[in-house]
Structure 1
Amino acid sequence: MENLPNDWLALLALVFVLGLKHGFDPDHLATIDGLTRFNAANNKPHLSRWSGLLFSLGHGAVVMAVAVLVGVVARRWEIPAWVEDLGAWISILFLLALGAVNLATVFRTSPDQVVRTVGLKGRWLGKLNQASHPVLIACVGALFALSFDTLSQTALFSLTASSMAGWMFSAVLGMAFMLGMIATDGINGLWISRLLNRTDERALVASRVMGLAVGGLSIMVGLFGIAKYFFPVVATRSEGHELLMGLAVIGTVALSFYLALRLAHRQAVALTPHPSNSEI
């Protein structure tokens, strides 16, 4: 993020991809999982289905507000280097912890149970994780945005946008980030809702594949962040490729979704009883 593109279109594309990538944050996935399950269990299928969308709207509203605020009051202010370093390390430590916890959850979950994604921030919210009103679900998303890594990332791209075209471009970038996050978090909510409607082998296999993907990817991204920090050659070679790296992360998760569905389908077909010759 320290070398953001100077072209407005490239910056807009990058921030949109960052929003897509941010939506795959394991803490987001875990909290949306919990909200979706809670409302499904309380016979609120529509609210359950759209929990991811409502969560990302609340989260995105805070990002938008911060982007505009930074663009208006801090046009001549530069964020100290230590702020970015601290934000990077907070993100790295959370990713490593979340990756380890989610991988452990996959291996500990009984084969006859659906794997539930585990988060850290969600545990701090107490009963808000059992929100059963659209406004409350959006508030949970808004509270998630009040974290150092999210706020520092928003401030960085907002300052760049403000120096290029004023606070209005900061607002546009905030909207692009929110739309990217809405896409991934909304799809995640629909995905969990679909799994809850199935109790067969498809749901079991699909949830296990996605648990492994989320845990493994979290650790890989965290280790890459460490490599960039301690090995200048890695940081140098990755400069200017933030968009490609973000797309790579998104592509990996999307491929995991596809593989989960394919494996689950094959498992279901294998377990389907076929008529014997005598029955024919």
Structure 2
Amino acid sequence: MESLPLDSPSLVALVFLLGLKHGFDADHLATIDGLTRFNARSRPRLARLCGTLFSLGHGAVVLAVAVGASLLSRGWQAPEWLELSGAGISILFLLGLGVLNLGAVLAAPRDAVVRPLGLKGRWLGRLAEVSHPAGVALVGALFALSFDTLSQAALFAVAGGSGAGGGALRAAGLAGCFVLGMLVADGANGFWIARLIARADGVARIASRVMALAVAGMSLLVAAYGLARLLSPRIEAWGEGKELLLGAVVVTVMAASFVVGLRLARIQGAPAAARG
């Protein structure tokens, strides 16, 4: 789990960035990709909304857990072992996601679109193949039933009780900021994937490779930084108070990969169109 600043503006900004970063998680990208592709031909309008619906279902669980934990745990402080185990699990997941997506890029044929790979999506199996808005939201809710997401919701409950405002209302506000950030990232991702599927040309192939490389690289870098913080007190001390900056860097790199991927694809596609 991440430490949160106590002053309200920094706290709100950091929680919103945590939501954005969570929305760019490789598992989110992979599952939204699958849901969007499954509905692309038969229900194109739903396909464009899959990211938004997934995020709403996911966010509903986060909000409920944050408020519930705040009401049930007045004065409770998260034990140290929970923070350490949460960090360890996050590092292992990030390493796995980074290796999987890097391997997907290297193994994909040159004429194929690279699809992001996730770990949690495999547990759902055919549950992820739904063509109803409520079903897509349910998939998002099921995704929230994981240690990393629930621990973040519990952290909002703890932070909500630490300020002057205190209580469930503050916890709900923090969870809402997190959900809003996640909604922006997941919604944009679903819409972007739907556009790539509709093209199914060189633009989609190049853009998908750039995005997959960004997901793999950022997952591995964040995992390496998290591991370094666990092993080195000096790096741990250096990182104190820089959570907002580091979160902004992750979100900026991931968002820029969308733009760069499309830009490179158009540059590469222009000569091909001229030859045709």
**TM-score, normalised to structure 1's length?**
0.95
Contact (CA 8 Å) 2:206, 2:265: kept in 1 or not? Answer: yes
Q: Which structure 2 residues correspond to residues 84-233 of structure 1 after superposition, within 5 A?
A: 84-164=83-163, 165-233=166-234
Contact (CA 8 Å) 2:49, 2:191: kept in 1 or not? Answer: yes
Residue 22 of structure 2 aligns with an amino acid whose one-letter code is H
Greater mean deviation of Cα atoms: 26-35 or 192-201 = 192-201
Partners of 1:66 and 1:81 lie apart in 2 by 20
Shift of 1:246: 0.6
Greater mean deviation of Cα atoms: 159-168 or 137-146 = 159-168
Residue 52 of structure 2 aligns with an amino acid whose one-letter code is L
How many aligned positions are there? 274
C-alpha spacing 1:95/1:2, structure 2 compared with 1 (3 Å):
closer
Partners of 1:2 and 1:93 lie apart in 2 by 16
Deviations 1:230-262 (A, max 9, x none): 011111111111111110000111121121011
Shift of 1:9: 2.1
Q: Give the greater-gyration-radius structure (CA).
A: 1
C-alpha spacing 1:3/1:38, structure 2 compared with 1 (3 Å):
closer
Aligned partner of residue 5 in structure 2, secondary structure = coil
Partners of 2:256 and 2:217 lie apart in 1 by 14
Shift of 1:60: 0.2
Shift of 1:2: 5.2
Q: Which structure 2 residues correspond to residues 56-75 of structure 1 after superposition, within 5 A?
A: 56-75=55-74
Contact (CA 8 Å) 1:75, 1:163: kept in 2 or not? Answer: no
Partners of 1:102 and 1:52 lie apart in 2 by 20
C-alpha spacing 1:35/1:3, structure 2 compared with 1 (3 Å):
closer
Partners of 1:60 and 1:3 lie apart in 2 by 20
Residue 26 of structure 2 aligns with an amino acid whose one-letter code is P
Contact (CA 8 Å) 2:75, 2:161: kept in 1 or not? Answer: no
Greater mean deviation of Cα atoms: 55-64 or 155-164 = 155-164
Partners of 1:250 and 1:227 lie apart in 2 by 20
Shift of 1:273: 2.6
Deviations 1:8-53 (A, max 9, x none): 2211111111000000110000000000000013x10011000000
Partners of 1:128 and 1:114 lie apart in 2 by 23
Shift of 1:157: 2.5
Q: Which structure 2 residues correspond to residues 9-48 of structure 1 after superposition, within 5 A?
A: 9-41=9-41, 43-48=42-47
Partners of 1:246 and 1:14 lie apart in 2 by 7
Aligned partner of residue 40 in structure 2, secondary structure = helix
Partners of 2:259 and 2:51 lie apart in 1 by 19
Contact (CA 8 Å) 1:50, 1:189: kept in 2 or not? Answer: yes
Residue 56 of structure 1 aligns with an amino acid whose one-letter code is S
Contact (CA 8 Å) 2:91, 2:227: kept in 1 or not? Answer: yes
**TM-score, normalised to structure 2's length?**
0.97
Question: Unaligned 5+ residue runs, structure 2?
Answer: none
Partners of 2:119 and 2:275 lie apart in 1 by 45
Residue 51 of structure 2 aligns with an amino acid whose one-letter code is G
Contact (CA 8 Å) 1:58, 1:139: kept in 2 or not? Answer: yes
Aligned partner of residue 213 in structure 1, secondary structure = helix
Partners of 1:34 and 1:155 lie apart in 2 by 29
RMSD: 1.1
Partners of 2:201 and 2:255 lie apart in 1 by 22
Shift of 1:126: 1.5
Partners of 1:3 and 1:56 lie apart in 2 by 24
Partners of 1:112 and 1:89 lie apart in 2 by 37
